[in-house]
């Protein structure tokens, strides 16, 4: 279905910042944990900064820090920060407007999909980054 790992990596990054912080972490260090390229990390962090979750600092000793307490960041916040369009995309080419079903189905589906996405977000809202950090500590 969905085919991009940005949400997963974003949660990983925030958990790492909370676990290793509050000192700033460099994108290179984070990339070492996620096992990818620093630029990929910075691209995702740019979204998280836009959402007010993290801040960056250039120069030696610089890096990235959380702007909010780990207890105050839920997976829903991270999800919204990624600015994905919709979980379920509609038809790639518009359906036939001469067919009663084709003419009306998209409006109906948009309503249903929004409802489903709201339910999804509500569940995501129940988990905080702090809980994930706690889980890491428990497992070690």
Interface residues with DNA (CB under 7 A) are: 1, 3-6, 25-28, 36-40, 42-43, 45-46, 49, 56-64, 92-93
Cβ–Cβ < 8 Å for 52, 14: no
Considering the complex, state which of residue 58 and residue 137 has its C-beta at the smaller distance from a copy of itself. 137
State the nearest-atom distance from the C-beta of 14 to a copy of itself, in Å: 10
Identify which range of 43-51, 55-63, 65-73, 104-112 contacts a copy of itself by CB under 8 A: 104-112
**Binding flags for a copy of itself, 34-73, as an x/- string (CB under 8 A):** xxx-------------------------------------
> Closest distance between DNA and the C-beta of residue 28, in Å?
6
Residue 63 bridge partners (DSSP) = 57
Exposure string for 26-43, b = 16+ CB within 10 A, e = fewer: bbebbbeebeeebebbbe
Q: Give which of DNA, a copy of itself, none residue 71 binds (C-beta under 5 to 8 Å, depending on kind).
A: none
For residue 101, count CB atoms less than 10 angstroms from its CB and return exposed for 0-12, middle for 13-18, buried for 19 or more. exposed
Residue 35, sorted as left (phi over 0), alpha (psi -120 to 50) or beta, turns out to be left
Residue 22 makes contact with a copy of itself by CB under 8 A: no
Q: Assign 82 to helix, strand or coil.
A: coil
Asked whether 33 and 16 are in contact (CB, 8 A), the reply is: yes
Q: Of a copy of itself, DNA, none, which one sits near residue 114, judging by CB under 5 to 8 A according to partner kind?
A: none
């Amino acid at each position: 279905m969905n085919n991009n790992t940005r949400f997963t990596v974003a949660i990983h990054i925030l958990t790492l910042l909370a676990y290793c912080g509050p000192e700033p972490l460099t994108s290179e260090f984070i990339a070492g944990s996620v096992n990818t390229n620093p630029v990929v990390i910075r691209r995702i962090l740019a979204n998280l900064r836009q959402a007010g979750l993290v801040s960056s600092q250039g120069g030696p000793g610089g890096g990235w820090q959380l702007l909010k307490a780990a207890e105050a960041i839920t997976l829903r916040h991270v999800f919204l920060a990624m600015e994905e369009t919709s979980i379920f995309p509609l038809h790639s080419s518009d359906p036939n407007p001469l067919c009663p079903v084709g003419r009306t189905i998209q409006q109906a589906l948009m309503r249903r999909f929004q409802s489903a996405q709201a339910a999804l977000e509500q569940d995501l809202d129940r988990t905080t980054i702090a809980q994930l950090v706690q889980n890491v500590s428990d497992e070690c």
